[in-house]
Chains A and B, each alone.
Chain A
Amino acid sequence: MSEKTLVAAISDALHDEMAADDRVMLLGEDVGARGGVFKVSEGFLEEFGEDRVIDTPLAESAIVGVAIGMALRGLRPVAEIEFADFIHPAFDQIVSEAARMRYRTNGDWGCPMVIRAPCGGGIHGALYHSQSIEAFYAHVPGLKVVMPSTPADAAGMLRSAIRDPDPVLFLEHKKCYRLIKGEVPDDGATVPIGPADVKREGGDLTVVTYGFELHRCLEAAARLALDEGIEVEVVDARALAPLDTETILASVRKTSRAMVVYEDNRTYGAGAEIAATIAERAMFDLDAPLVRIGGPDIPAMPYAAPLEHAFMEPEPDQLYVRMLELARF
């Protein structure tokens, strides 16, 4: 085991996969000479050469579209979208092409590829460097959407994503990149894409979350245990599509209280689907009303610190209060 930041874990896993399999390609804006704006591919150009580490034109639809072509011809491309906020020109390629290729050909063609995209706010990124985009894509059958938020999950799930026979949208929360450190296995272990993960066990209430909010929830849960003796079970959804409903429901049935926390604006967000799943299938296991906490329904995260802070609510303090209220309901 080695302690790494989340971004280092991603970089190392990507490096290992490229070193092990010459079908794995990296393409995107600034991934070559610059090594990626977050330094994920620093040194890759020198090691793997410009045929495999491709500085593309500034054209997101082509980054994804060309990667689809590579995948159709037997390569394993990893397409990097510099910021998730810029992925929208590629929506058609992702949704109409990559996600539907297997289905529309009755299983004849497949599209094994990864689209990496740094997402999320809290880094002074304003409207166009802070977005949560997962809900747009989690709605699309045929596409896997993941957002691992610990270094071990990020490394293990990236390895799985690259080896997956289907397209995976791999979302990396920027606020986690250097803030979150953790032990990562040195043996190249994979983490399967599918299962959610109970990051903290507890019997009093269940919090289902993902992304940077996972870490806020864990912090609030730890304080609540210390202060009040309330044990919160924190479930990291980590794979949003397909969603592991069984792990979520098993936890809710155990604790009888459920809260869903996500950073994206609340309405129609991924948390809405999680809340609907709990309401639909575990209603009679609940001893208190379901709580859903999401971002405000404003177009995007503003720049000025007080405005950004207002969007990034709930802070752990508020999560703490809401968890306490739910536990005592």
Chain B
Amino acid sequence: MHRLMLLARLIDEAALRQNRMGRAPFVVPVSGHEGCQIGTAWPMRLGTDVWVPYYRDLGVVLVAGMTPEEVFLGIFSKAGDPSSGGRQMPAHWGYRRLGIVSHSSPIATQVPHAAGIAYAMRYRNEDAVVGCWFGEGATSEGDWHEGLNFAAIHRVPVVFVCENNEYAISVHQDKQMAVRDVASRAEGYGMPGVVVEGSDVLACFRAMREAHDRARAGQGPTLIECKTYRYLPHTSDDDDKSYRSRAEVEEHKHHDPIDRFVGYLIGRGLTDHERIQSLHDELKAEVDSALTSAWDAPDPDPALVGRHVFAEDDR
């Protein structure tokens, strides 16, 4: 868990540097969300369960099995980008072999997909669960409501995870909804709603494991709300100074999910500062190497821009 949280952070920092160097036109930061992403992704079973993430979910797709090099192939929009072959913006995940469902930029459109996939799983009596992630802004969309409603009516095996970082780009939660907790909306759909501290990776893990168990047991969907915060702008094209103070951002950094987990691990005697530093160095080298190979990988071939419109031209 700690390894992947740190890996997500290091990829994030490296990606933003690449952006500032002019080598990546667009990146989507994750820093601050590592606890809730790694924690809620952790109970998902590789090769069995299906992942329906949104664009900030670097941590989720790392748990699902995407490698740092594959992430950078997307950031540099290379031919080998597993999500889209360089067709979509970076961080628009998708990887059939890993069970990661492709998503688009319009918000919350993936939520009805999650309900439909889970319906198909139940129809075939498969022991499988769908995890579906989104931000709190997504909960204002009609598709979010329609997806949760359908999933709840049919009690299909899906867990909805809201990464509530208080801001939908610049719009604060106060202007997004009149309720304090997204999770309180769950009652209106007839499913349990759970609020969890997003910087506590283990709490997120426990909430997800419980919801995952419920889904597998045929007890239907759960809505988990992780209270989290993003340290960086919405994307590399955003300027968050226009809508929140530096003091506010710095205050949230005192509740960093990685520091919190490191404190826990050291406190329990499960690791020490030396091993933490050595892991950091190891992962840093891994990220640098992944970045370099991805940068050197071939670009997409413009001659193939017309491929894959229909199955007929997949060949």
A→B interface (CB under 8 Å):
25, 51-52, 56-57, 59, 61-62, 64-75, 77, 89, 92-93, 96-97, 100-110, 141-142, 144, 165-166, 242
Q: Chain A: which residue is nearest B95 at the CB level?
A: A108
Q: Are B308 and A106 in contact (CB under 8 A)?
A: yes
CB proximity to A under 8 Å, residues B114-137: 114-121, 123
CB proximity to A under 8 Å, residues B59-108: 81-85, 87-88, 92, 94-96, 101-102, 104, 106
* Docked CA distance A56–B308 (Å): 31
Write out the residue numbers on chain B whose beta carbons fall within 8 Å of the beta carbon of A56: 150
Write out the residue numbers on chain A whose beta carbons fall within 8 Å of the beta carbon of B106: 92, 96
Write out the residue numbers on chain A whose beta carbons fall within 8 Å of the beta carbon of B310: 102, 142, 144, 165-166, 242
* Chain B 42-58 per-residue mask, 1 if CB under 8 angstroms from chain A, else 0: 00000000100000000
B266 in contact (CB, < 8 A): no
Q: Are A57 and B150 in contact (CB under 8 A)?
A: yes
Picked from A67, A73, A96, A242, the residue with its CB within 8 Å of the CB of B109 is A96
Write out the residue numbers on chain A whose beta carbons fall within 8 Å of the beta carbon of B260: none
Q: Are B116 and A65 in contact (CB under 8 A)?
A: yes
Q: Are B149 and A69 in contact (CB under 8 A)?
A: no
Picked from B85, B111, B113, B114, the residue with its CB within 8 Å of the CB of A106 is B85
Picked from A69, A107, A165, the residue with its CB within 8 Å of the CB of B120 is A69
Q: A105-B83, A166-B310, A166-B311 are in contact. List 5 more A-B contacts (CB 8 A).
A: A59-B146, A62-B115, A69-B118, A92-B109, A142-B309
Write out the residue numbers on chain A whose beta carbons fall within 8 Å of the beta carbon of B114: 69
Picked from B104, B150, B309, the residue with its CB within 8 Å of the CB of A141 is B309
**Do A70 and B116 form a contact, CB below 8 Å, given A65-B111, A107-B314?**
yes
* Docked CA distance A103–B88 (Å): 10
Q: Chain A: which residue is nearest B314 at the CB level?
A: A107
Write out the residue numbers on chain A whose beta carbons fall within 8 Å of the beta carbon of B153: 57
B142 in contact (CB, < 8 A): yes
* Docked CA distance A108–B82 (Å): 9
B143 in contact (CB, < 8 A): yes
Write out the residue numbers on chain A whose beta carbons fall within 8 Å of the beta carbon of B118: 69
Q: Are B116 and A106 in contact (CB under 8 A)?
A: no
* Docked CA distance A73–B112 (Å): 13
Q: Are B94 and A105 in contact (CB under 8 A)?
A: yes
Q: Are A100 and B104 in contact (CB under 8 A)?
A: yes
A selection of 28 A-B contacts at a CB cut-off of 8 Å is A25-B123, A57-B150, A61-B143, A61-B146, A62-B150, A64-B112, A65-B109, A65-B143, A65-B147, A66-B113, A69-B112, A69-B114, A69-B116, A72-B117, A73-B50, A89-B142, A97-B109, A102-B309, A105-B83, A105-B84, A106-B84, A107-B307, A107-B308, A108-B95, A108-B96, A109-B102, A141-B309, A242-B310
Picked from A64, A72, A165, the residue with its CB within 8 Å of the CB of B101 is A72
* Docked CA distance A166–B114 (Å): 19
* Docked CA distance A66–B149 (Å): 11
Write out the residue numbers on chain A whose beta carbons fall within 8 Å of the beta carbon of B85: 106
**Do A93 and B112 form a contact, CB below 8 Å, given A65-B143, A69-B119, A105-B83?**
yes
Q: Chain B: which residue is nearest A107 at the CB level?
A: B308
Q: Are A102 and B308 in contact (CB under 8 A)?
A: yes
State how many angstroms separate the Cβ of A79 from the closest Cβ of chain B: 10
Most buried by A among B123, B146, B153: B146
Write out the residue numbers on chain B whose beta carbons fall within 8 Å of the beta carbon of A104: 84, 87-88, 92, 94, 102, 104
Write out the residue numbers on chain B whose beta carbons fall within 8 Å of the beta carbon of A97: 104, 109, 113
* Docked CA distance A104–B121 (Å): 24
Q: Are B117 and A96 in contact (CB under 8 A)?
A: no
